[in-house]
Each structure stands twice: as C-alpha cells, then as structure tokens.
Chain A
C-alpha cells in the first residue's frame, strides 16, 4: 500500500437473530423452506394488517448491546424507512432511525499482537427483506425477477461501528470478533454462507496527517471474511490511484464482484437515498427499565476475551493458542470437552489448532459440523499415551476418523496400526536392517552418531511407521 495515505474504515453489520418466529408476525424464521411458504398477510404487507413486536427480538438486541458494552436506551421506537424495491412488500422497511435501542459501545480487537478498541456507534432492530432471483446473468440484464418472501420479516440487528479501523486486517479482526461474540451470547447463528451475518463497508483514504476524512464509498455484498478483506484491499488501491492521478472520489455505493476480484459502481440515483423516515404509527414505543436490562445481563455467558484469559490462567496455554481456540465458541467448547477426559491442555490445543483446523479448512466445514467428537479425540490421545500407536500414526488415524466417522480404536484395529513394542519382534527386523545397511553401520561404529538416524528410518520404513521409536533406538544401540 502507498505509504502516503491512511485508510479509514467503518462497518455496518447485519445479523439475523435466531428467534423461532419473525419480528412482527408468527411465521417461522427457518432457513431454506419452499419459496413463499413462510409468509402471512403481515409479512406480505397486505392492507389492513398490524405488526406485533416479538419480545425475544428486544431481549436479544439488549443482550447484544450489553455484550458490546453499549448503553441501552430507556426509550426507543420504530420508524418507517421508505423505498421501492420488489424485495420489500410494504414499500417500507420497519427499522429504527433516531432512537436506536443501543448506542456508544465498544469492542476490543487484536492484530499482530496489538490490541485496539473499536467504537460501536449504535445497534438497532429491523426486519429483513425478501430474496430476489434475477432471470438473467445479472440484474441489469434480467428481463424479470422472482421474489421469495420467506426471509421478509426475519429479525435483524444492524451494528454500526465508528470509522475506527485503519486497515483491511483490522476490519476483518473486528468482524471476526463480532461474529464470535454474537455466537457466544447465542443470539445469531452467524452463518455467512446463508446470509445470517452480512456486512457493508464504508471506506475512504486520506493523506497521512490530514484531519478530515476523505470522500467515502460504500461496498455492499460482503458475505465472507475473505470477501471483506479482498474488497477493501482492492477499493483502497483504487481510491489511491484515482487521487494520485489527480482525480476525485465519487461518493457512491459499490458492489464486490467476487469472480473478477473488483468493486463496481452501482450508479444508484441520488434520490434513492431519500428514505423519508417517520415514526411507525402501527407500533407503540418501547420503555426499557433497569429490571429488564438486569434480567438480560444475568444471562450473559463468558465472552471470548474472558474465556481467553481463563484458558491462559487456568490451563497455562500460550496467549496465541488461547486466542485461536476462543475465536469460536464451538472450538472453545470442543477444547473444554476434551479436557474433561484428558488433562494435557497444550496437547489438546496443538491437535485442535493443527490437525483438526487443517481438516476442517480443507473440507470447508464449521466446527459444529465436525465428524470427530471431543471424546473421540481424547480416545486417540490416550492410545498415543499408552504407546498403542505412535504420534505419526495418530495423525493418519485422525484423518481416517475424520473421513469415515469411525472411532480411533476401530481404525487402529482395522488397519493393523498398533505400535510394535514387542522387543523380540523388533529385534529380528533390526538385525535384518543392520545386515542390509553396512555403510551407516560402519559410520556409526566409527563415531558418527548421526548415522543412527538413517538406521532408525530404515526400521520405521520396514514396519510402516509402527515401530516404537524409543525401543528401536535402544535395541539398535545395543546391537551395534
């Protein structure tokens, strides 16, 4: 990146709340139903219907606000945000404008070992829109579009950050921490691939040392951490190039084109942003008292940073390990479950950060969908400790467990992978290796300690890695 410029990033994150029913009607929020089967006169915006607020939505919004260190409003209301788009059946979205439920929060992130606090401007409640399928390659070429209103009316919270981030890495770290917190407090499942966690980024650049912000653009359509980071990297470069060429940044909405790796202007008309908000007359305001807030506060679980601290203090894990493991609640739960049956925390953390994460990534799986249960890993680790299998073989067994869902003991038995710890069996193999490798044998006898390694390697090869390495070393030394 150009050293003359500083980047300023703020994020608007939408998170679907995991209530059973929609925000203003009792249709299910379940994902993936047949089109338009989770709809009713209220969420279809038919004339004469009245919305009624789902109490759980308010509970969850308060919970998110508390977890993000916000002030909870004692009084708030809903407003109508007016615009025409086919995914919005009423031609307005019920949202919150000037009196959101939460404001003035903060969140701590860590990038390259440096801690930084990112301000949260506000959190407000609103309803999600329906889903459009354009009949054509892209919207501009589509002759028509199909609309499914199953998602219309699913509750959302929008979390707006301060423009406190200074790099795509910080933006990503913020988003990851936000996701972790929302999952820890169990208000959203945050499945980015299903759109239950989405993000728009406001980004601008300015010459270093300038006080005023540069003109910003807003990037929509960021549905993965990778997309967020890549889109920001591209957009920052683009803006700097425009400025370096003596041009001006146009304030506009841009869309991230994943396949081309570029952001493109959506060229929306100025008028489109005139939402003419006004108080929603169909819903009465909310008064939130201390009692309500305290009741929700009592349901707050241990949050990622607290849990990280506990893993360091209680189990002696390195800061780095604790950070990785607590980055996801599911991973941290996996760790805790393993420790119930196995008391070597560092070994468990090595396996979780190593083999487990590697296989999850390679198979594009979330921890929640991991085919290996904590107790299965514990069984494997115990087989290793007992000397039934070697560390190297354990990795092979783990892969097989991951692929087939079979338990460790069964894989070891079926594949005949038990470690050979029987001295007499090893002795005959070792004698053969000594006979067949006169050169390293002679080298070792002449004082070259290193030559022993070559011989151990030959024994491991002959036993397909099953020989007990300590025993092989011992017998070899005796024989030589």
Chain B
C-alpha cells in the first residue's frame, strides 16, 4: 500500500489540519517510510495470535458507582475563549 498526497489531504481534513503544499509532500514521504517499516510485521506468521487489545496484561479495572464532587463552574469555564450563561460558546458549526 502506498500513501498518496490525496490520502494525506483526507487525513488532514479529518484532523482539521490546514497543510501547505510543502507539508503535504513531506508527510506523504514520511508516512510512506513509516508504512514501509510497518510492513515488516506482515512478514511474520500471525496465525493464531490474538489481536492486541491493550499492551498491559491487566483486566477489569473498575470503580463503584458512587457520586463525587464535580468541578466548580468558574473553574470549568476558566479556559473557555468565549462563554455565555454558564456555557461554552462555540462558533458556527455547519
């Protein structure tokens, strides 16, 4: 599989990244070399090997259903660029 400039543009759009032409070229090259490296894994026989769900061999980490303190609203909104009536204000969505 080869990564094309179109793939880079697609991923950039999904990530809301505005890339210059030079950046697109550079990322296409870099992503391809990463994919090439990853392709080495395909040389291994993975028949019967379970897909990795997590790198740590730990399971069932859970908490009891108990309510604790929420954050003070002043604090919640402290970093908001814009706010109104105790809510985050965001620009036009569509």
Chain B's interface size range is: 35 or more
Of B10-18, B20-28, B40-48, the segment with at least 4 beta carbons within 8 Å of chain A is: B10-18
Within the complex, the shortest CB–CB distance from A428 to chain B, in Å, comes to: 70
Q: How far is the CA of A76 from the CA of B13 in the complex (A)?
A: 31
Residue of chain A at shortest CB distance from B61: A284
Task: Classify the secondary structure of B's interface with A.
Answer: loop
| A286 at the binding interface (Cβ < 8 Å) | yes
Chain A's interface size range is: 35 or more
Taking CB atoms, residues of chain B closer than 8 Å to A57 are 65
Q: Mark B42-62, 1 if CB is under 8 A from A, else 0.
A: 000000000011111011111
Taking CB atoms, residues of chain A closer than 8 Å to B68 are 21, 26-27
| A253 at the binding interface (Cβ < 8 Å) | no
Within the complex, the shortest CB–CB distance from B17 to chain A, in Å, comes to: 11
The answer to whether B62 touches A58 (Cβ under 8 A) is yes
Q: How far is the CA of A112 from the CA of B2 in the complex (A)?
A: 57
Of A140-148, A184-192, A436-444, the segment with at least 4 beta carbons within 8 Å of chain B is: A140-148
Chain A residues 4-50 with CB under 8 Å of chain B are 19-21, 26-28, 34-41, 44
Give the A-B pair count, Cβ closer than 8 A.
Answer: 129
The answer to whether B67 touches A26 (Cβ under 8 A) is yes
The answer to whether B89 touches A52 (Cβ under 8 A) is no
Taking CB atoms, residues of chain A closer than 8 Å to B66 are 20-21, 26
| A281 at the binding interface (Cβ < 8 Å) | yes
| A341 at the binding interface (Cβ < 8 Å) | no
List residues of A whose CB falls within 8 A of some B CB: 19-21, 26-28, 34-41, 44, 52-58, 75, 77, 82, 84-86, 99, 132-134, 139-140, 142-149, 271, 274, 276, 279, 281, 283-287
List residues of B whose CB falls within 8 A of some A CB: 10, 13-14, 16, 52-56, 58-71, 73, 76-77, 82, 84-94
The 7 closest A-B pairs by CB, nearest first: A26-B68, A56-B65, A146-B87, A55-B62, A147-B88, A77-B53, A86-B90
